[in-house]
Structure 1
């Protein structure tokens, strides 16, 4: 069960333990007990009031942070069903599915007990994808390098001393992927989407929709943060026409795995069980979206007559990954920090995708998370601006901070004329996001005669004050792209990351830097350590890093298209170290090998959502039934 959300709080409509700053005037009638010193501004939960007496709390989503605040009861069920306990239950329920290409390589010596003769084998292929922010959190926790954290995670999920050391079937994960692979593919697709959406011949409907069939409006808003998407769909649907249709790296990885294995090798998508290890609890909600199931990439319009099979079956966070090890009786810090032997690795059946997903070590080391200017959330804005820069020789990218550190403006300037070519901005944290959505709100037309002729673009949006020319006072229509993330500081500060208060217990010692008396300074310093781990680029490999002594050799000499992390643009073909032609060739191969249109594989849709927060929604059984019908896999 998630440490944040619980299925036991169905009629509370506020995630347990969340203290809200907004007064609640409709608290249940109950006499306080003697000595009761409860805070009248805290939302009452079921541990204090009987469930039958607790009315829905009247709290608007605009009053909360979507990453750790109000969610509907159905969403609470969807989240609670994704946990470290669910991972162990699934591993114990199904043996690893051993397929012909795996048998050829002797995949870990496992056998599912049946002949490999079709899709009726009682087993699953277990695949995991891990975000770089999660690795950075673990690296900071144990004071190790990012690569060592990656090795320890691999040892846990697929090594003989990890999950395979116990359980009914001794099942583990056949492949453990780095989501940076599909992030790089997503960066190229994001740049093409932004440039294409600004083309004059492209049109977009003006209603509150975010259909995959339509191009987003300027400014294009990032879509990789599910907390931001949840907030927009529930409270500000007028921004949906601006939201990028591109799937997140988590979703792209799931679609790639299940579509290729299903279409090329005849494996049912429900026999591929995909676990994602992410920095954010909201990623669990993203995995539960009906739009991110096989229904929507199998058919052009989406066959809603059947329940879809989710592209991502379960999401856990960095803290839950450590709980996963503890539940299996494994000491995570005792795991080997060296990589698994390559001769035991099971190749992905598609050779071209195998080289992309599991590059040789020298190319893997070049797959950087970027630099601080690119941000800790994947570097979408940075790569888009670098793509524009590659198309305009003699230009320079300038960065200007807005009213706070989480509002930053990026300008590409022609050095010969000092003219601004394009602008973009970064908006992190809901305090800044609320300003963003207000500026994008369509102007209300006055009923007074002749008023329409006096309305200026964006005039209906309230513009908070800020220094002239700063991002705080900028007209949003001048931006081509806005990178929007729910968490202040970006994804390294996600709600599922390991907090400084947990470090002492995880290390087996007291909390450093002053303990409880200096919580805020210690937490700030802790986030800096996580960021340092995230941005660290390791280029050296010690001789004892490889347990089998084999050298990394790129047998075919192909470029993998991975970024070098040095910020160099290169030419228009190679942007920030990423080969656009290589990524587009990969996309073409993906589409041709599966027989699926590329737009169904890469893009998704968004829709206005009616939230039940603060509304009467009926009984618990109805809500639980609703949760069981949303998404696939249950």
Structure 2
């Protein structure tokens, strides 16, 4: 990435174009600490900031997990929040106290929680993305499938041979969920937002609607191109949605405060750590109670594929030595029958076509929904100037275009997208015409013709996320016999292996269950029944007594740099930062 980090900008935006104090490719070894000197923290406006690097004190260090895909536009507070989310934080939390124990259901279908009287005890829940499983499957080699990698993760997180085999309290995770279930809900909600339903019209936000599941893209838009914020979908990402569902339903059904439910998300992207720290994704958003001034995160910690290997190693385990078969340990039922069936479906998530891509299939599902609503229509595909730009047009049975959409991956292409969305600037000259992006040849409308655009920060999509095991990682070179300095061809082949694992076929049993489910739900679109999803979401709202929009939708805000402007006092900033760090951990 081109953006780099500097100690001079630590008090506010870490802007592109400044000298990096920690090179991305080669990190210098840490010199032994000099006990004769004290580490000095320079706050906003405090004298000595310019000379801190030359007076013997080491400059502030930003970890590589803070080099986000959003071109480095993070603030110092966000850098602290992101840095706290690591495999070490997972182990420290697991070892802090014994876990809460769910008992039930009894004859009346009721559950109880043992250990609530001990404030140190928590209920541990994890969710895993399919891109992570695909990446670990490719790294495991020997034809390992995504499903088998999922079994290995279950054994690590909740099995007796995994994390529970060590640590002070032998804690593991009560549930390990697949974010594909929340992905399916997000797909239906996104299609309803763009196309509308029989009960509700489409969103009145300006077109095109842009995806919101990529946090690097959202962060980039908020801090560099706020004019596109009205276009971004209000639907939460799968990570955020499943986090809200877990915290709300478990706290209501079991009588557990949200702060006692600890949710770990395992994602392919470092930017997901920043998403988990958003104020819009805390319990204050769905309770509406902001009187405390701080909230409990719906996702307490995010780690990536690479950090899974570090997590296992910290417990003396080799992740790749774990069995690839389904664990035989019985699963604790979720305390609601309908949600249990939704969160732990009898079939794996359905991904019928590689045209859906490896980033969740937002665009593909909407295109299939348009086709389903217009019998006889078909989809025309036009490749763009590079592999990460594609245009799609739905043509009616009469040969007329009825829906146009596109896919833009990678910041090089995103910059072209936001430039075309930029509103016209009025001329300062009397009678002058607007100028900027509004200038078009006569007779052609300004702006995009697309109704929907799938935007992802990483070229190639989410299987190529920054937190994934890469082709040149030492563990990958050692296990799979790769060249020590792989070139572009090897990198392309590696990503193809990850994508192949992502689209690995289901077994015959899974195919039979899928066919039976589709036959019982006549409104199926690309393997997903919108009516079933809407019914489940309604049940969620009924359990919690919270309006569904507050549970499933989010908001965005323009973030403005305060460099050179009057700021809050140092004391106020420290108090604010301390409050954010404490919330949810």
TM-score norm. by structure 1 comes to 0.77
Distance 1:164 1:51, change over 3 A: farther
**CA–CA distance in structure 1, aligned partners of residues 183 and 237 of structure 2:** 8
Distance 1:341 1:200, change over 3 A: closer
SS at match of 2:451: strand
Q: Is the 8 A contact 1:428 1:484 kept in 2?
A: yes
Are positions 1:315 and 2:291 aligned together?
no
SS at match of 2:448: helix
Deviation string, structure 1 residues 51-109 (Cα, Å, up to 9, x no partner):
5459999xxxxxx97356342221111111000000000000021101332799xxxxx
Q: Is the 8 A contact 2:422 2:437 kept in 1?
A: yes
**CA–CA distance in structure 2, aligned partners of residues 530 and 190 of structure 1:** 26
Are positions 1:95 and 2:98 aligned together?
yes
Give the structure 1 partner of residue 285 of structure 2.
296
Deviation string, structure 1 residues 194-242 (Cα, Å, up to 9, x no partner):
1239999878xxxxxxxxxxx5321111000000110111111111111
Greater relative contact order (Cα < 8 A, sep 6+): 1
Distance 1:561 1:240, change over 3 A: farther
SS at match of 2:403: strand
**Post-superposition shift, 1:42?**
11
Residues paired across the two proteins, number:
547
**CA–CA distance in structure 1, aligned partners of residues 519 and 424 of structure 2:** 44
**Post-superposition shift, 1:381?**
0.6
Q: Among residues 378, 387, 396, which one is paired with 2:369 in the alignment?
A: 387
**Post-superposition shift, 1:118?**
4.9
**Post-superposition shift, 1:120?**
5.1
Deviation string, structure 1 residues 313-363 (Cα, Å, up to 9, x no partner):
000000001100000101111111111115x21111111111111122xx2
Give the structure 2 partner of residue 430 of structure 1.
411
| Alignment gaps of 5+ in structure 2 | 32-49, 61-66
Q: Is the 8 A contact 2:351 2:526 kept in 1?
A: no
Distance 1:393 1:42, change over 3 A: closer
Give the structure 1 partner of residue 86 of structure 2.
83
Give the structure 2 partner of residue 340 of structure 1.
327
Within 5 Å, give how 1:133-148 maps onto structure 2. Answer: 133-143=131-141, 144-148=144-148
Q: Is the 8 A contact 1:13 1:56 kept in 2?
A: no
**Post-superposition shift, 1:531?**
1.1
Are positions 1:273 and 2:255 aligned together?
no
Distance 1:305 1:620, change over 3 A: closer
Q: Among residues 450, 454, 460, which one is paired with 1:489 in the alignment?
A: 460
**CA–CA distance in structure 1, aligned partners of residues 184 and 286 of structure 2:** 21
**Post-superposition shift, 1:510?**
7.0
Q: Is the 8 A contact 2:248 2:258 kept in 1?
A: yes
**CA–CA distance in structure 2, aligned partners of residues 618 and 595 of structure 1:** 38
Q: Is the 8 A contact 2:192 2:202 kept in 1?
A: no
Give the structure 2 partner of residue 519 of structure 1.
487
Distance 1:354 1:81, change over 3 A: same
Q: Is the 8 A contact 2:273 2:303 kept in 1?
A: yes
Distance 1:351 1:389, change over 3 A: same
Q: Is the 8 A contact 1:370 1:379 kept in 2?
A: no
Distance 1:596 1:558, change over 3 A: farther
Are positions 1:421 and 2:402 aligned together?
yes
**Post-superposition shift, 1:612?**
5.9
**CA–CA distance in structure 2, aligned partners of residues 623 and 182 of structure 1:** 36
Q: Is the 8 A contact 1:5 1:79 kept in 2?
A: no
Q: Among residues 420, 424, 441, which one is paired with 1:439 in the alignment?
A: 420
Distance 1:396 1:354, change over 3 A: same
Are positions 1:355 and 2:341 aligned together?
yes
Give the structure 1 partner of residue 235 of structure 2.
246
**CA–CA distance in structure 2, aligned partners of residues 76 and 611 of structure 1:** 15
Q: Is the 8 A contact 2:103 2:114 kept in 1?
A: yes
Q: Is the 8 A contact 1:220 1:243 kept in 2?
A: yes
Within 5 Å, give how 1:184-199 maps onto structure 2. Answer: 184-196=184-196
Q: Is the 8 A contact 1:276 1:316 kept in 2?
A: yes
**Post-superposition shift, 1:374?**
1.1
Q: Among residues 419, 429, 432, which one is paired with 1:448 in the alignment?
A: 429
SS at match of 2:360: coil
**Post-superposition shift, 1:279?**
0.4
Q: Among residues 573, 582, 597, which one is paired with 2:532 in the alignment?
A: 582
Distance 1:42 1:134, change over 3 A: closer
**Post-superposition shift, 1:263?**
1.7
| Alignment gaps of 5+ in structure 1 | 29-37, 58-63, 105-113, 204-214, 466-472, 543-551, 564-569
Q: RMSD over aligned Cα, in angstroms?
A: 4.1
Distance 1:232 1:115, change over 3 A: closer
Q: Among residues 46, 69, 72, which one is paired with 1:69 in the alignment?
A: 72
Give the structure 1 partner of residue 206 of structure 2.
217
Distance 1:475 1:500, change over 3 A: farther
SS at match of 1:477: coil
Give the structure 1 partner of residue 39 of structure 2.
none
